[in-house]
Amino acid sequence: MELLKDKIKQDGIAVNEHILKVDSFINHQIDPELMQKIGEDIATHFKNQNITKVATIESSGIAPALMTASALGVPLIILKKQPSKILNQDLYQTVVTSFTKETNYELTLSKKYINAQDHVLIVDDFLANGEAATAALRLLRMSHATIAGLAVLIEKSFQPGHAKLAAQGIEVYALAQIEEMSENYIKFKE
């Protein structure tokens, strides 16, 4: 998506070879107009797949996921992070390794909001090592829902997430794919 790539070129900050900061339009301050266009783009891509729900991981995925859900006319479910592992029989629960924070956390989803008839599209901000997306898949599959695919705003293609998900048969739709990065340098995949 050229609009997103232009925005990344203009306002994204490549901190080093691994970390891209997009705090001014995605992660801290949010550009609502850009999010709406992103949601429309993702919804158009998946429009013929009979999606019943969009799912995201709190918190950075919520804005683009909400816009996608709105464009598809379906509810958004938020997979919630919690620090402790208190077992709760009303929840599906799984552990995730965080790329940015280098810690583990628990991802949870209430059994009330998902069932085996659901066909779910996962939307998130970044795809890096694929840990968050793999955990989201694991959690959603506990309900026997089926997965339409994963849409991410930014894929760091030099990290193994895409390959990991493709190996599980998951379609990955990335609006901007970064082939290579270093301090103040970003190269997009053509």
For the chain, the 3-state helix, strand and coil shares in percent, each to the nearest 5, are 30, 35, 35
Q: How far is the CB of 174 from ligand 5GP (least distance, A)?
A: 12
For residue 91, the minimal CB distance to ligand 5GP (Å) is: 21
Q: What tokens does 132 get?
A: 């968050």
**CB of residue 116 vs ligand 5GP: minimum separation in angstroms?**
26
State the nearest-atom distance from the C-beta of 127 to ligand 5GP, in Å: 5
Query: Whose CA is closest to 122, among 92, 77, 160?
Result: 77
| Shorter beta-carbon distance to ligand 5GP: residue 94 or 116 | 94
Q: Using the minimum distance from each CB to ligand 5GP, give the nearer residue, 69 or 122.
A: 122
Token digits for 6?
């232009």
Between 41 and 131, name the residue whose CB sits nearer to ligand 5GP.
Answer: 131
Q: Of 66 and 89, which CB lies nearer to ligand 5GP in the complex structure?
A: 66
Site of interaction with ligand 5GP (CB under 6 A): 19-22, 27, 60, 99-100, 124-133, 161
Do residues 142 and 90 make contact, with C-beta atoms less than 8 angstroms apart? Answer: no
32-45 and 2-11 are packed helices; what angle lies between their axes, rounded to 10 degrees? 150
Identify which of 109, 77, 114 has the alpha carbon closest to the alpha carbon of residue 96.
109
Considering beta carbons, is residue 114 or 123 the nearer one to ligand 5GP?
123
Closest separation in Å from C-beta 133 to ligand 5GP: 6
CA–CA distance, 63 with 153 (Å, rounded to integer): 11
| Minimum gap (Å) between residue 98 Cβ and ligand 5GP | 7
Closest to ligand 5GP by CB, 115 vs 134, is 134
Residue pair 79/107 in contact (Cβ under 8 Å)? The answer is: yes
128, 153, 155 from 179: Cα distances, Å: 12, 14, 9
